[in-house]
């Protein structure tokens, strides 16, 4: 019987990469979901300009004004509060039960985007589907 006096070869350590990849994917997903895109806040946006003919005055319209600080005015009447529910109630009152009224949104150039979206949502809740935005001419003339 022969004796084996050779040293046994040490086993190569094996690195399992699957848990490492799982952790990296979770971190990547977390970073993608929690990252804020600050580039959008640096954009300089001005009021849109339209050079179309002046529209004729329509008796079946509701003018909603949005101030830069988020206050609302419906047909020159201030709206109490800034919630969508109050806006929808005021729009329903201003429409007087008619669903074919045209809602004209006259928002300040510095108004928050959310304020305008609130008006759109309130108009949808009030059943008013005809919407348009007021703009000014490129020469700085009257609002349209």
Q: Which of 136, 129, 130 is nearest to 106 (CA)?
A: 136
- Rounded Cα distance between 92 and 77, Å, is 14
Q: What is the pTM of this model?
A: 0.54
Q: How many domains does the chain have?
A: 1
Q: How confident is the model at residue 28, as a pLDDT? A: 94
3-state secondary structure of 34: helix
Q: Does residue 71 sit within a domain?
A: yes
Q: How confident is the model at residue 49, as a pLDDT? A: 65
Q: List, in sequence order, the alpha helices (H) in 5-137.
A: 18-34, 84-95, 113-125
Mean pLDDT, 10 residues at a time, the chain of 144 residues = 72 87 94 70 56 57 85 85 84 82 85 86 86 73 51
Q: How confident is the model at residue 54, as a pLDDT? A: 53
Q: Does residue 74 sit within a domain?
A: yes
Q: What is the dihedral of CA 29, 33, 39, 45, to 10 degrees?
A: 140
Boundaries of domain holding 104: 61-133
Q: Does residue 52 sit within a domain?
A: no
Give the neighbor-by-neighbor strand order of the sheet with 102-107. 77-78, 72-74, 61-66, 102-107, 130-133
Q: Which of 56, 141, 51, 143 is nearest to 105 (CA)?
A: 143
- The domain spanning residue 68 has which CATH number? 3.30.420.270
3-state secondary structure of 100: coil
Token digits for 103? 């809602």
């Amino acid at each position: 019987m022969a004796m084996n006096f050779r040293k046994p070869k040490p086993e190569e350590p094996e690195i399992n990469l699957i848990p490492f990849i799982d952790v990296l994917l979770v971190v990547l997903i977390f970073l993608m979901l929690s990252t804020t895109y600050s580039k959008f806040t640096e954009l300089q946006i001005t009021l849109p300009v339209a050079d179309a003919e002046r529209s004729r005055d329509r008796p079946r319209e509701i003018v909603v004004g949005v101030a830069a600080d988020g206050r609302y005015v419906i047909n020159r009447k201030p709206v109490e509060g800034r919630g969508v529910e109050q806006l929808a109630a005021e729009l329903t009152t201003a429409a007087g039960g008619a669903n074919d009224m045209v809602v004209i949104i006259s928002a300040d150039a510095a108004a928050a985007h959310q304020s305008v979206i609130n008006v759109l949502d309130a108009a949808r809740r009030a059943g008013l589907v005809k919407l348009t935005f007021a703009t000014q001419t490129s020469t700085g003339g009257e609002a349209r």
